[in-house]
């Protein structure tokens, strides 16, 4: 098929600039061609940063990355993966162990002290807390200070739906755990960096980063009352993150990741997420450890 029939027209090849067909005298068109050359010459007169001056600029990003990597490495051993196991009743197996046990729900938590207490959200273990049939149990994945993985059954010590908090306990049996480092939520500022660590959708020890988006928010608690003073953040918090720590740039826990708004019908996070301030947690957890569940919240 001829090129003309396709509507394609070949352009003539232009002659080189200094050929006989293009004499040397400078025309207005040639002045336009040379103008960028003059501009480049003037720009070259200014000092250009040498390679020796660049490493300091290039090091800023790696230093920030190294800081976040160190933060995660220091904090993640204190983060716990919680599994709610639904166990079929088996009279021939009084221990309750069952190979066919199904994971009913998962969540996160963090090591509170060296005695094996673990803090999480009440809604993470609410099915266990309200069930007296003995057909359910809770198990946790955690690591000791030597980095050894541990998979153990955890006992619910106490819970408080009003603040969506619960305390579990594991028997250490020679293992030493690394408690998380506490910060404070009293002096937080909107815009400062924060990081959420947890197990979203079952992916263990996941780090997400963001900033504090708002302070003094009000969110609903599992018993229908309001949790006041909540921290709002755009650090991603998804299903499975609940109960995990929200930490500041020093790796100090400033809140317990609790809730997120999702886009209707999608299940996707909208970037509006909430954490219970650690100052509220510090006031509540010691009471639960010593006295157990508040009388008004017992079922």
Torsion of CA 290, 293, 296, 299, to 10 degrees: -150
Band of residue 52 on the pLDDT scale cut at 50, 70, 90: low
Q: Tell me the backbone φ, ψ of residue 110, rounded to 5 degrees.
A: -145, 155
State yes or no: is 164 an active-site residue.
yes
Answer yes or no: is 50 within a domain.
Answer: no
Q: Quick one: 268 and 121 in the same domain?
A: no
Q: Quick one: 278 and 139 in the same domain?
A: no
Query: What's the pLDDT score for residue 196?
Result: 97
CA 178 – CA 146 distance, rounded (Å): 9
Phi-psi region of 47 (alpha: psi -120 to 50; beta: other; left: phi over 0): beta
Domain limits for position 143? 74-180+289-297
Percentage of the chain exceeding pLDDT 70 = 66
pLDDT single digits (tens) 2-35: 444 433 333 333 344 444 444 444 444 444 444 4
State yes or no: is 133 an active-site residue.
no
Q: Quick one: 215 and 293 in the same domain?
A: no
Answer yes or no: is 69 within a domain.
Answer: no
Residues whose CB falls within 8 Å of the CB of residue 162, separated by 6 or more in sequence, listed in order: 221, 223, 225, 227, 294, 297
Answer yes or no: is 137 within a domain.
Answer: yes
Q: Give the domain CATH number at 164.
A: 2.40.10.10
Answer yes or no: is 171 within a domain.
Answer: yes
Exactly one of 76, 84, 160, 164 is catalytic; name it: 164
Answer yes or no: is 67 within a domain.
Answer: no
Question: Per the structure, how many domains does the chain have?
Answer: 2
Answer yes or no: is 32 within a domain.
Answer: no
Answer yes or no: is 61 within a domain.
Answer: no
State yes or no: is 242 an active-site residue.
yes
Q: Quick one: 170 and 237 in the same domain?
A: no
Answer yes or no: is 17 within a domain.
Answer: no
pLDDT single digits (tens) 123-178: 998 877 666 554 457 899 999 999 999 999 999 999 999 999 999 999 988 889 99
Exactly one of 108, 213, 238, 242 is catalytic; name it: 242
Cβ pair 122, 161 in contact under 8 A:
yes
Exactly one of 78, 123, 213, 248 is catalytic; name it: 123
Q: Quick one: 203 and 159 in the same domain?
A: no
């Amino acid at each position: 098929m001829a090129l003309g029939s396709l509507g394609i027209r070949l352009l003539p090849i232009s002659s080189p600039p200094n050929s006989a067909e293009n004499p040397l005298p400078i025309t207005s068109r040639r002045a336009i061609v040379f103008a960028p050359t003059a501009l480049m010459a003037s720009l070259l007169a200014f000092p250009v940063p040498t390679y020796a001056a660049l490493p300091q600029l290039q090091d800023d990003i790696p230093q920030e990355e190294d800081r976040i990597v160190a933060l995660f490495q220091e904090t993640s051993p204190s983060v716990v993966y919680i599994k709610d196991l639904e166990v079929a009743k088996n009279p021939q197996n009084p221990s309750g162990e069952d190979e066919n046990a199904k994971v009913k729900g998962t969540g996160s938590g963090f090591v509170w002290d060296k005695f094996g207490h673990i803090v999480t959200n009440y809604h993470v273990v609410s099915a266990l807390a309200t069930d007296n049939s003995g057909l359910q149990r809770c198990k946790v994945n955690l690591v000791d200070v030597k980095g050894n993985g541990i998979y153990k059954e955890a006992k619910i010590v106490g819970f408080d739906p009003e603040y969506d908090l619960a305390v579990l306990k594991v028997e250490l049996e020679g293992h030493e755990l690394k408690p998380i480092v506490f910060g404070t939520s009293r002096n937080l500022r909107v815009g400062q960096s924060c990081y959420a660590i947890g197990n979203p959708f079952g992916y263990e020890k996941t780090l997400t980063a963001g900033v504090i988006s708002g302070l003094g928010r009000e969110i609903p608690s599992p018993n229908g009352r309001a949790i006041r003073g909540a921290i709002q953040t755009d650090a991603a918090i998804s299903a499975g993150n609940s109960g995990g720590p929200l930490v500041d740039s020093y790796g100090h826990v400033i809140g317990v990741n609790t809730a997120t708004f999702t886009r209707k019908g999608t299940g996707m996070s909208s970037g509006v997420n909430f954490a219970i301030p650690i100052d509220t947690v510090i006031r509540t957890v010691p009471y639960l450890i010593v006295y157990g569940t508040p009388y008004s919240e017992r079922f």
